[in-house]
Amino acid sequence: MQELELSEFEALAARFDDAVVATEGVDHYCSSSHWILPALRAFHPDHEPWLYRGLDGKSWAAMALGNSPAVGRFVAPLESMWGLSSPFVGEDEEAVALQVAALLRAREKDWDALWLSGIRRPSWVFDTLVRSFGARYRLGLGPTTKRHVASLDGGWDGYLSRRRSSFRRNLRRSERMADAAGITFQRHTTTRDTRAVMELFDRVLAVERRSWKGMSGQGIDTGAMVDFYREMLPDLARRGRFRAVFAKDPVGNDVGFVFGAVFAGTFRGLQVSFDDGFRPMSLGNVMQAQMIRLLCEEGVGYYDLGSDLPYKTRWAEPGLITVTVAVLP
């Protein structure tokens, strides 16, 4: 495989993303350049990128070398916080697996451990890693990552038909409460104006500070999470992938938001939050419903709510499940 500088990889990001879309059994959005490059800059700026492209241009490896007191030098995906991204992509999974295993063996003196997330079990990649390193290393399984994905087949009515009656009843009640309170909704779709999208993000942060997450120090309004989204959103805007819905009170103040990205026919939800004063009407649920209506009107096929949280089981079906393969001394 051909090693790439970070600047070369960034220039080829659109081709890399095409390969991601062609890869079966990976988290498409979280393996794409939209996710992994902002994650590298925001969360792992001290990691050394290991970026490779197959000589045929169809196989890719996007990894980075870090250092930990526990295991020493380790190789992981560019985003290794949540275990969502796959570090290896390409339409021919067997070819990708063999090329990457050969690459990691060739650089065996440069690392002490591998921490490779976003991998299906079983798969060519999983089995090839076991065969390649099982004889001389200790193998283990890191966290299993589950996702929830809702089909939007049949539009809004089709989506609702697949939800429980109690879900539909509670949502209707929340929507009536929001309507009675004079809540309105503002949509933002397919804008390619990066400055406008970053102004929307400033509005997001203002709401987040008044949410329970922001007030408890768990929001996206501080620390590396702010950097993560400031890195991500301009690229989404340039490619027309950004979508957002804001909730506004009767005098026009922002009181809630939901935003995400459309990629490969799927909307990946990124964040939803609201002013904590509007908790009694379940404003977060009302905004989720508004976003789903928007996506159905656009003809988007799926809503990926991301990794496993209890409330997501009400909104979506079980989706992709991946594991982390640990190769240790």
Q: What are the sequence ranges of the domains in the chain? A: 2-146+322-328, 153-300
How far separated are the first and last CA of the chain, in Å rounded? 25
pLDDT in the model for residue 47: 97
pLDDT in the model for residue 66: 96
pLDDT in the model for residue 190: 77
pLDDT in the model for residue 87: 95
pLDDT in the model for residue 126: 94
Residue closest to 208 by CA, chosen among 220, 224, 226, 196:
220
Say if 2-146+322-328 and 153-300 have the same CATH topology: yes
pLDDT in the model for residue 308: 84
Structure tokens that stand for 244 in this block: 């957002």
Structure tokens that stand for 231 in this block: 């890195």
pLDDT in the model for residue 117: 95
Residue closest to 110 by CA, chosen among 136, 74, 77:
74
pLDDT in the model for residue 310: 87
pLDDT tens string 152-167: 999 999 999 999 999 9
Residue closest to 292 by CA, chosen among 310, 313, 265, 315:
315
What pTM did the predictor assign?
A: 0.95
To the nearest 10°, the Cα dihedral for 285, 291, 295, 296?
50
User: Which homologous superfamily does the CATH classification assign to the domain defined by 153-300?
Assistant: Gcn5-related N-acetyltransferase (GNAT) (3.40.630.30)
Partners of 114 in the beta sheet?
Answer: 75, 327
Pick the CATH number of 2-146+322-328 from 3.30.750.24, 1.20.1250.20, 3.90.1150.10, 3.40.630.30: 3.40.630.30
Side-chain-facing half-sphere of 299: CA atoms under 13 Å = 0
* Below-70 pLDDT ranges, the chain: none
Structure tokens that stand for 76 in this block: 């992981």
Helix (H, G, I), strand (E, B) or coil at 201: helix
pLDDT in the model for residue 309: 85
